[in-house]
Amino acid sequence: MEDRKILLIIEDDPGLQKQLKWSFEDYQTVIAGHRQDAIIALRRFMPSVVTLDLGLPPDPTNASEGLQTLREILELAPLTKVIVVTGNDDRSNALEAVSLGAYDFYQKPIDLDVLKTIIQRAFHLDELEKENVRLQQKNKEPLNGIIASCKKMQNLSRTVEKIAPTQITTLLLGETGTGKELLAKAIHDLSDRSSKPFVAVNCAAIPESLLESELFGYEKGAFTGATKQTKGKIEYADGGTFFLDEIGDLPFSLQSKLLRFIQERKIERLGGRGEIPVDVRIICATHQNIQELIIRGSFREDLFYRVSEMVINIPPLREREGDAIVIATALLRKFSELHKKTIRGFSKEAALAIETFDWPGNIRQLENKIKRAVIMANEPLVSLEDLEITINDKPSSPFNLREVREESETAAIKRALTHCDNNISKTAQLLGVTRPTLYSLFEKYGIQI
């Protein structure tokens, strides 16, 4: 019985209710006579297909009640296939229903064979759409070198995949150690420039006196010690991707020259007189707040607008729920193989510490801790002492699915009770369950009213 497809029939005529229920016995049919019951049934049974009589009470001659029901159904479950049923002279409302998002419409008097065909087609389309989603999820692999198990990072990965084939100038924002260069490399690897150079320069790592020549190169004799013509890093990236890391540390005196290069895609070496065209994709990154730098007058606003055609905010590791232990496990395998150690995993205490630690240094700090732990470990499991981190007080999310479900259901019930001002009937309707079921859940989870 439970394996049958669920069909919700919204019809106020008792005789037609019985006829439809009997005619569609191959499905698990749920009957609703008015809008309130229909919404309750939708929440409770989550049917894939719904038949909706537009002439619902209180005024069967007016389709507004039926159209309002349609709007609520599609708001709550946008993918539901709603087949509206109308009177023979009510074609205009049927067309309005389709424009609102109804799957199809059918006019009375009902020909059951025709309606069956429409319903079968709706269920078939629903199955195809769900299978397509399953295949898409199955084929979604993290970007090369990037472990993205949490929703935030999976969405970020999809963004990277979308922008990679374009030439849009991209600004990566994130705390130190969040993997900005790794993401820049992923954009390059997924682009049509992947066979060309990926050249990275860290503005914070090069003294200001050397940075200009490092970026733009110099001609022989441009300054003392310039004994030969030397290309800059931008020129070496020709045809590929130029990654300017920590652009917030770029000296103000160089910002106008970089702006001109971004606008014209031409450089001029130190001591040179001719302009050299350079074809590069530009990606920048910083851990600083650029807007604050602009307010302080240490960063050009026009340069910011040039480098931020696309901005990607990389979340810190502490906000990537579940990622820390997944990344740690991957790093453990990597360093165990590198150092020829036979380590199977983490002790319970070590795994809990990895999950709950705030990781102020993000992935870079995690990588250092795992590398040290692998070297120091004497047992098949990495211990808390090997990691040299402490367990925080914040609770870890449970792995057991029953515990996860109980936590979610308890939270949902308490939210619904608050929303309904502790009214049991309204709470049950909002949750899509019966009053006896709700009382059972109160008892199961120890919820006091």
Using CA atoms, how far residue 412 sits from 77, 321, 419, in Å, is 18, 20, 10
Give the position of tokens 């006579």.
33
Pairing of strands 170-173, 281-286: parallel
What are the residue ranges spanned by the domains of the chain?
6-137, 151-315, 318-387, 401-445
pLDDT number for residue 239: 96
Most confident of 33-47, 96-110, 187-201: 187-201
| CA-CA-CA-CA dihedral for 119, 122, 128, 129, to nearest 10 | -140
Which CATH homologous superfamily contains domain 151-315?
P-loop containing nucleotide triphosphate hydrolases (3.40.50.300)
| Beta carbons of 100 and 64 less than 8 angstroms apart | no
One fold for both 6-137 and 151-315? yes
**Could you tell me if 345 and 204 are in contact, meaning their C-beta atoms sit under 8 angstroms apart?**
no
CATH number for region 6-137 = 3.40.50.2300
For the chain, give the mean pLDDT: 87
Q: Is the pLDDT of residue 371 over 80?
A: yes
Amino acid occupying residue 120: Q
Mean pLDDT is lowest, of 3-17, 149-163, 348-362, 410-424, for 410-424
Pairwise pLDDT comparison (443 vs 73), residue with the higher score:
73
Q: Residue type for 269, please?
A: R
Neighbours of 89 (CB within 10 A): 9
- What are the start-end ranges of the H helices in 140-237? 151-163, 180-189, 208-216, 233-236
Average pLDDT over residues 424-435: 86
Mean pLDDT of all residues in 397-419: 74
The whole-number pLDDT of residue 61 equals: 52
pLDDT of residue 288: 95
pLDDT(142) > 60: no
Q: Any idea what the Cα angle at residue 166 is, between residues 161 and 167, rounded to 5°? A: 130
DSSP annotation of 5 reads: P
318-387, CATH topology level: Helicase, Ruva Protein; domain 3 (1.10.8)
Once rounded to an integer, what is the mean pLDDT over residues 170-195? Answer: 94
Phi and psi for 81 in degrees, rounded to 5? -90, 110
Tokens coding 364: 């870079």
Q: Read out DSSP for 114-141?
A: HHHHHHHHHHHHHHHHHHHHHHHHHH--
Whether 33 has a pLDDT exceeding 80, the answer reads yes
Q: Which residue has the higher pLDDT, 417 or 374?
A: 374
Burial-class residue 105 by CB neighbours within 10 Å (0-12, 13-18, 19+). Answer: buried
**Which of 278, 286, 318 lies closest to 303 in space, CA to CA?**
286
Residue 181 to residue 195: CA distance in whole angstroms = 18
Buried b (16+ CB within 10 A) or exposed e, 282-297: bbbbbbbebeebeeee
Q: Residue 308 contacts by C-beta under 8 Å, 6 or more apart in sequence? A: 169, 171, 290
Contact 428, 416 (CB under 8 A): no
Q: Which of 11, 78, 73, 45 is nearest to 433 (CA)?
A: 45
State the DSSP H helix or E strand holding residue 107, giving kind and residue range, or none if neither: strand 104-107
What is the arithmetic mean of pLDDT over 24-47?
91
The whole-number average pLDDT for the span 203-226 is 90
- pLDDT, one tens digit per residue, over 337-356 is 999 988 888 888 888 889 88
pLDDT tier at 136, thresholds 50, 70, 90: low
Q: What is the dihedral of CA 212, 213, 217, 221, to 10 degrees?
A: 130
The pLDDT assigned to 140 comes to 46
Contact 441, 409 (CB under 8 A): yes
Q: Taking residues 113-118, what's their average pLDDT?
A: 91
Predicted pLDDT at 296: 94
Q: Does residue 368 have a pLDDT over 70? A: yes
Contact 126, 81 (CB under 8 A): yes
Give the integer Cα–Cα distance in Å for 412 and 407.
Answer: 9
Q: What is the strand order of the sheet 310-313 is part of? A: 198-202, 241-245, 281-286, 170-173, 310-313
